Each structure stands twice: as C-alpha cells, then as structure tokens.
Amino acid sequence: MKQLSIVDLSGAIAVVALLALAPVLLNSNYFTGVLTVCVIYAIWAASWDFMSGLTGRENFGHSLFIGAGAYTAGFLATVWYANPWYSLPTAVVVAVAFSLIVGFPTLRLRGPYFALAMLSASAIMQRLCLIFWEYSGGEEGLYGLDPLIQSPLHYYWFVLAVLVAAVAILTALAQSHWGLLLRAIRGDEATCQAAGINVTFYKIASLTISAAFAGLGGALYAHYQLQVSPPLFSVVVSITVIIMVYVGGIGSIYGPALGAIMLTLLTELLRSFGEYRLWVYTLTLMLILFFLPNGLIAPLWRRLTERFR
Amino acid sequence: MLEILIYGAVSSAIYAMLAVGFTLIFGVARILNLAHGAFYALGAYAAYVFTSLLHWPLFIAAPLAVLSVALFGVLMERFLVRPLRYSQLAVLMITLSVSLAVEQGLFITFGSEYRNVPSFVAEKVSIGGVDIGGQRLLALIAGVLVLLLLWLFIQRTRLGAAILAVSQDPEAAQYMGIPTNRIFSVVMAISAGTAALAGVLVSPFLTVQPTMGLLPMVKAFAIVIVGGLGSIPGSILAALLLGYSETIVAYLISSSWTELVSLVAVVITLMIKPSGLLGRRAAF
Amino acid sequence: MSAILEVKDLSKRFGGLTATRNVSFSLEPGELTGILGPNGAGKTTLFNLLTGFIAADTGSVLFEGQELRGLAPHKIVNRGVARTFQLTRPFLGMTVLENVVVACLSPRARDAHDKEARAQELLDHVGLGSKAREPVETLPYGDLRRLEIARALATKPNLLLLDEPFAGLGSSEIEPLAQLIKRLHREQKLTILLIEHKLREFMALVSRVIAIDFGEIIAIAPPSEIVRNPRVIEAYIGKTEAAHASA
C-alpha cells in the first residue's frame, strides 16, 4: 500500500517534538494541564475517525466509550482500590464490550440505526449515572482517583506517547488492506458483499478498535482529572469530538488529532466567552459544513506539501 | 390498575406526537432530524415566555408557540438542511448542531434552572376513583385529536396525497409535477409543530429546562425504530407499547428503570425484526 | 454429469406482487446460459435471490449439491458464485487496481499472497492492465464493465452471474466484451449465466436461453429455437424488438 512519505514523517516528528517541548519551554503547570487535555481529545478524535471517518457510519455517541473507560477507572479506584495502572487495560475491555453491545445489533443493518443507537445509548448511560447515584455518585460522580504518574509533566509525556502510538497504529491500519476495505465499505456495501467481503465483521471490528482507544483515552482523562462525572457521557462530548474531526479533515486520522489539539487550545483562548463557547463550536461546525466540507488541516497539509512529493 | 391505564395513555400520546413528526419528515424527506427534541424544548419555552412572562391568554399563547416553532423548523429545513442534502452525514451534523445551538441559546437566555408554566386547566378530574390532573387529561385529548387530524389530512386532502406520493417515490412524484421542495417545507412545519405542541402541553407538569428535549427525542428514536422507520401507524402503535411498558415498569419496579425500557425495546426489535412492527424494510 | 446449479420452485413475493414464481432450472458445469426477458420480468430479482441479496420465500438453490438459500451474500460468493451488477458500482476515490485489490481480499482469494500482483494479473486478463494506476473515475462505461468482471473473477468463482453486461454500451464496445466473456468461458471452464434483454447479443454467445416473463419461466431452449417459441414471441418479441429478432 501507500508508503509514508518523508515529508509526512518529518512533519509528524516536528509536531510531536513541538508538543513534547512546549510545556518545558512555557514551564507552567496550568499550561501542561491544558496540553494534557488537548492530547486526550486528540486520542478521542483519531479513534472516532478510524471507524466513522473510514466506513462512513456516523457514530453520534463516542462519549459512550469515553465515559465507559473513565467510569471503569473511577470504579476501580473508589470501589476496589485497585492499582491505578489496572485502569488502562480494564477500561479498554469495558469500552470494547460496550461497542459490541451496540454494534452487533445495529451494524448488521443499513440505514441510520447505528447513528441513532449510539446517540441514544450515550444519553441513556448519562441518565443512568444520575438515577443509580448510590453506585455512580450521581451528579457529583466519583472522587479520589490516584494519578498514574505524580509529575504532571511526566504524565503529559506519557499521554503524548499514547497519542503517538494510537495515531501510528490507526494510520498503519488505515493505510493497510484493512483500511482499503473500510473505505470500500463506505463506498458501496453491496459491492463489497458481492466481492465476498463480510461487511458486518469489518464494521464491528473497526468499531471495537475505535472504542478501545476511546476507552483508553477516557481512563487517561479520569486519572488526569482525578474524578469522573456524568457529563463525560454527554452528547456534547461526542459532538465536540466530531467537530474536531471535521476541522481536521475526516478520514485522515492525523488531521482529526491535530484538529482536536487546535480546537482545545482555541477553547482556552476563548475562555472569556464563557458559556458562549459551545456556540462558537457549533457555529464553527456549521461554517465548515457549508464552506470546507473536507475540513481544514489535512487538506491544507496536502496542499502545502504537494510540491515536495 | 385504572391509574396505569390513564397515565400510560397520557405518556403514549406525548410520545406519539413526538414520534409521528420525526418519522414523517424522515419518511417523506429522508431527513433524520436530530433537532426534533429542540423543537419540543422550544415549544415548552415559548409557552413559558408567552404565558408566564407576557401573561397572554392561553388561546393565543399556545397556537402562537406552535406556529413560531413550526416557522423555525421550516426556516431550518430551507436554509440549513436543504443545501446539505447531498450528504446524509452532513444533514445529521447540521441538525445536531442546530439542536445544540438551541440548547445553548436557551441556556444563555433563561439559565439552567427549572421554569414553571401555569396549568392551563387547574381542576383535577376524577375518573373511576383516580384523580388525574386536568392538564394531563388535556395533553391526552389534544394528542389524540392532533393525530386524528393529521391522519385525516394525509388520507383525505390533495396535499396529503402529494405527501404520501413523495414518501413512496420522490423521483416519480417530481416527474408527476409535485413540487417536492414545497412538500418538504409543509411536512417540516407539521413535524416541528406537533413536537412543539407536545412541548407546550407538557410544560405545566414536566420540568422546563434547556436539556429537556434530548431524552424525549431519544424515546422518539426508539419508538420510530420499534414501529418501523417512516411508518406513521407503526409509530403510534410503538408509542402505545412504550408508553404503557414504561408506566407499568414504573408501578411494578421503580421509576428508575423506565429509562431502560426503550433501550431494551430497541435492541429486541433490531435483533428480531429490524424493519420494525409495521415498517416496510430495514434499509433505505 | 451432475448439475452445478439446481434451482427448484423458487418464489418471492413483494407485498401483493409476485416477483418470482416457482422458478426451476439447472445449469450443467461449463455451460454458458442466458436469461431473457423484457424489462420488469424479474430477471434481476432472480439474480438477487440466487446471490442472497434478497431472501426467497420458498424453494431451494443447490450449488454443487449444497443449499445456498438463507446464506448471506458474502458467504454465497465464498462458495464460488460471483456476480456483477447491472449498474456498475466502482469504489470511487480509489485507483482501478485498488478496486480489484478489495475483491482480492475475500476469503476465496486467500492463497494469493501479493494481492496487488494478483489484481494486476486480473486486470491484464480483462484488458485493463495499462489503466491500473488511474483513478477509477476516469474509466469509460465499457471499461467499468470489465472492472466489474475482474472483481468478480478475483473471488475465483465456479459460477459467474452477469447482470446485463451489455446494457448502455455502444456497438463498438459490445463485440470486444462478448469476446472477453467467450474467452473466460473457454479458457477457464467457467459456468456463466447472463441476463440480457436484447436478443441479438444472445444468439452468438449462449448455448441455451431461459425466457422469463412476469417472474415465471416460459421457455427453455437453444437461442435458435427460442425465437420461434410462440409464448416468447407473445411475451416479448412481439412487444419491442421484433426488428432485432428477425434481423
């Protein structure tokens, strides 16, 4: 398949180096925290893109996997007092289990069932967290998680390493035959079936991979905030991730990751907007849908580097 | 027992109003409108503004609330959805962003606290020894009436026939000279209007609050999937099924578990009969 | 020799409409057979029933002695029954080669380790080898048909179903495509069943014609006899293409 070009590789190294050095240069714990959140959102955006961007099946409830991962970490820490490092693998397993529960009945079908089911499942999970407050901590959520790594800077580097690994794995998969199949499924499912491809299997498998990384990101987020609460399941989280993917350029994996970092940083700049923030996001999405249907970052990068290829 | 019967009927009627509008605009225009819950919330807030703040009489406030939301729906379809119809995903995204924009708009304007709307009917009615709020009864009656009117409209009028034709085969309908774009506007108005009416009707006895649209919309999805995408009778049947199941679960177990009813119903439907109770087919 | 495909009493109703009624026929290995019928006679529905894209109400489809009815479309392909579509459906945004690589990823093509090389081989075989690296959007209609055939061949079929391969093609494109089909039939000993509603293309190509109308088989005969069959003439030739048939 496609080889990773030198240009892309050097671009990636430059961005990662910049991200790794930024907190050292700025030397502010607050900014390190902001960057940590940026990078976690980047993991969520890249994982959304792998399933929905490649196969074209819209996932409107990515927060289901994010929340599942985060709450897994929360329960492990506050109910079983487990070693915080157990959170990561357990969160992956739980998120994958959720993806199978939603994906199996809905991805066999054509039509909007998957999109509706994901949106509904995440909304209902958020609701269940409030209803079964005896177990989930209700509105307050679960408190008192231990950090995975004490130093915020070291934790940031760890999360960044996870992002790099996630983007590398997902990009490798997307550029492999597997990714070609997923793009073929987006194009025409019937033709794929006529070529003997088990379309349902590939869709569900890619959803589980997407969910695994989202759940991992959820656990990383929980151990950064040291608490989890029901808004993690909210539709707002899902749509924020989707907007990031759109800004980055759907289907390119690295674009959405960068889109997430850019938008999260922008959000910090827009702090003065306070409650208007989400409005700005929504407006951004509308503008992109109308004027830049292919997104901003990935197409821009391709344009800029065209001549070096 | 009688209590279950009456309360179940009330929630079924509200669900049916929401689900029928949602399935109608999907069946006719293939628009999966994720802003449907926003229409419901807007209806409730419009009722709040017109009655609690402006103190207008009910017979003006309620129709005006419904009409303004219907107009909002038509404008949304015309200027935001129609240019993006080439892509199913873009339509989903734009309607979802409208729904978020509305939610945020309500939040910024009215804050997150619960708003009260005075009861339209203060009296309690006693049926067979069960006291039921007049407002709930009004919701039930209005719901049944609206659905009946809608059915008559679609079955008995020329415009209704045109709507049916478009839903069955949009291309053929266009060749026959039916102005599909105008039909979409009409259906959007009906869809948004019924959702808003549901919002107006429940506003006195449910909490009026910016995020109030999301869960009812999720219920509407569930009903539409169980009933069969695009089928109006299916939606009504499924609304009854869900409304009563929830009421029964609330009585027998606990109201906490009602939220799970719709989820379980959807999963069972998709496993056993994906096209729904009365749907023609699963795919579109 | 026993039949490779044996269809018995296959029926399908859509609502009140009978799309396929008690269709029974069988194909011998290595046969090149045509299905003839006017538009709307239920030819494509029959293909969809055979390939699992539509579930039959009753009847059975035995392929190499095994029941196909009830299997998912991709499983049927993996038993060795490949099809093309009447409307060509390339995967847009990919190269011609990538379009065939997708089909080379199916389980039946597992033994080909270098998928790209295998895809190139197939493209050479159908005469598209020189266009492998081009975006699929640039292909003319006739080449898209060849691409469809290459994709179908990638799954190593024992039975190939072609849904109106000549539809929409100009006369200069029809003859080479017919030659390709003949060559596949001859060289690879493929059993081929093809749908067509124009009689002329049939005459030189197939050894047997199954004529259907309103979802029912009305005649099975060699092409030279089928044109003289009174039911076929009534159902079909009388209506539209008498000129072609007598030509």
Per-residue pLDDT tens digits for C163-187 = 988 888 888 888 889 999 999 998 8
User: Does A190 contact C102 at a Cβ distance shorter than 8 Å?
Assistant: no
pLDDT in tens, A89-139: 999 999 999 999 999 888 888 778 888 889 888 988 998 898 888 888 888
Which run of H or E residues covers position B106? helix B88-110
Calpha distance B154→B167 (Å, rounded): 12
Name the one residue in this structure whose structure tokens are 């159908």.
Answer: C126
Chain B interface disruption, residue of A235, A236, A241, A281, most B CBs within 10 A? A235
The residue type at C223: P
With CB atoms and an 8 Å threshold, state whether B108 touches A279.
yes
Closest-CA distance, C154 to chain A, in angstroms, reads 8
- Calculate how close chain A gets to C234, using CA atoms only, in Å: 35
Interchain pair A106, B270: CB under 8 A: yes
Question: B168: which DSSP letter?
Answer: H
pTM (two decimals): 0.86
pLDDT band at A1 (very low <50, low <70, confident <90, very high): very low
> Do B97 and B223 touch, CB atoms closer than 8 A?
no
Here the contacts of C180-186 (C-beta below 8 Å, separation 24 or greater) are C180/C126, C180/C127, C180/C146, C180/C149, C181/C32, C181/C149, C181/C205, C182/C32, C184/C149, C184/C153, C184/C160, C185/C30, C185/C32
Write out chain B residues lying below 8 Å of A282, CB-based.
97, 100-101, 104
Q: Which of A181, A183, A199 sits opposite C93 (nearest CB)?
A: A183
Cα–Cα distance for residue pair A163/A41, rounded to 1 Å: 10
Mean of pLDDT values over A19-46: 93
Mean pLDDT of the residues in chain B: 87
Going by the DSSP 8-state scheme, the letter that residue B262 receives in this structure is: H
Taking the C-alpha atoms of residue C54 and residue B242, their distance in angstroms, rounded to an integer, is 31
d(CA B136, CA B11) in angstroms, rounded, equals: 9
The amino acid sitting at B102 is V
Comparing A254 with B165, the larger pLDDT belongs to A254
What DSSP designation does A147 have?
A: P
CB pairs under 8 A between A and B: 103
- Residues from chain A contacting residue C151 (CB–CB below 8 Å): 191, 194-195
Band (A163; pLDDT cuts 50, 70, 90): very high
Q: What ipTM score was computed for the predicted complex, to two decimals?
A: 0.86
Does the pLDDT of residue A182 top 90, yes or no? yes
How near does any CA of chain B get to the CA of A285, in Å?
7
What span, in angstroms and rounded, lies between the C-alpha atoms of B217 and B15? Answer: 9
Domain with residue A45: its CATH number is 1.10.3470
B21 CA: distance to closest CA in chain A (Å): 16
Q: CA A54, CA A34: separation in Å to the nearest integer? A: 29
pLDDT for B282 equals 38
**Residue range B51-82, pLDDT digits in tens:** 989 998 888 999 999 999 999 999 999 999 99
| 3-class secondary-structure state, position B89 | helix
Domain ranges of chain C: 5-80+157-246, 91-156
- Burial (CB < 10 A; 0-12, 13-18, 19+), residue B216, is buried
The reported pLDDT for the residue numbered A72 is: 96
Work out the minimum CA distance from A191 to partner chain C, whole angstroms: 7
Q: Which helix (H) or strand (E) holds C66?
A: strand C66-67
Q: Give the residue on A whose Cα is nearest the Cα of B274.
A: A109
Nearest CB among C92, C98, C103 relative to A195 is that of: C103
Within a domain: A1 = no
Average pLDDT over residues A193-199: 93
CB A50 within 8 A of CB A170: yes
pLDDT averaged over every residue in chain C: 87
Segments of chain C with pLDDT less than 70: 1, 15-16, 236-247
Measured between beta carbons, which residues in chain B are less than 8 angstroms from residue A283?
101
- Side-chain half-sphere CA neighbours of C213 within 13 A: 12
* Whether pLDDT at B132 is above 90: no
Q: Which alpha helices (DSSP H) does B111-177 contain, by range?
A: 134-156, 158-168, 170-175
- Distance of alpha carbon B95 from alpha carbon A56, whole angstroms: 18
Chain A interface with C: residues with Cβ < 8 Å: 177, 180-181, 183-184, 187-188, 190-199
pLDDT at residue C137, rounded to an integer: 92
Domain that holds residue A237: 6-308
What b-and-e string marks burial along A48-70, b requiring 16 or more CB atoms within 10 Å of the CB? bbbbbbbbbbbbbbbbbbbbbbb
* Cα-based distances in Å from A134 to A72, A76, A137, B59: 16, 16, 6, 45
Look up residue C26 and give its DSSP letter: E
Subunits in contact with chain A (3 or more CB pairs closer than 8 Å): B, C
| Most confident option among A256-260, A287-291, B130-134, C185-189 | A256-260
pLDDT score at B284: 32
What is the C-alpha to C-alpha distance for residues C199 and C208, in angstroms, rounded to an integer? 12
Q: What is the mean pLDDT of chain A?
A: 90
Average pLDDT, integer, range B143-155: 92
Q: Calculate mean pLDDT across residues B38-52.
A: 94
Cβ distance of A111 and B282 shorter than 8 Å: yes
Buried b (16+ CB within 10 A) or exposed e, C21-53: bebebebeebbbbbbbbbeebbbbbbbbbbbbb
CB atoms A113 and B34 under 8 Å: no
Q: Which of C91, C101, C110, C153 to mutate to test the interface with A (most CBs of A within 10 A)?
A: C91
Average pLDDT (A290-294) is 85
pLDDT at residue B195 tops 90: yes
- Answer whether residue A156 is part of any domain: yes
CATH 3.40.50.300 given to domain C5-80+157-246: yes
- pLDDT average, residue stretch B150-167: 89
Alpha-carbon span B273 to C169, nearest angstrom: 41
Q: Assess if residue A127 is contained within a domain.
A: yes
| Interface subset of B 198-237, CB within 8 angstroms of A | 214-215, 218, 221-222, 225, 229
Tally of domains within chain A: 1
Is C91 in contact with A184 (Cβ distance < 8 A)? yes
Q: Determine the average pLDDT of the residues in B228-236.
A: 87
Over residues A223-282, the pLDDT tens digits come to: 999 999 999 999 889 988 998 998 999 999 999 999 999 988 888 877 766 667 777 778
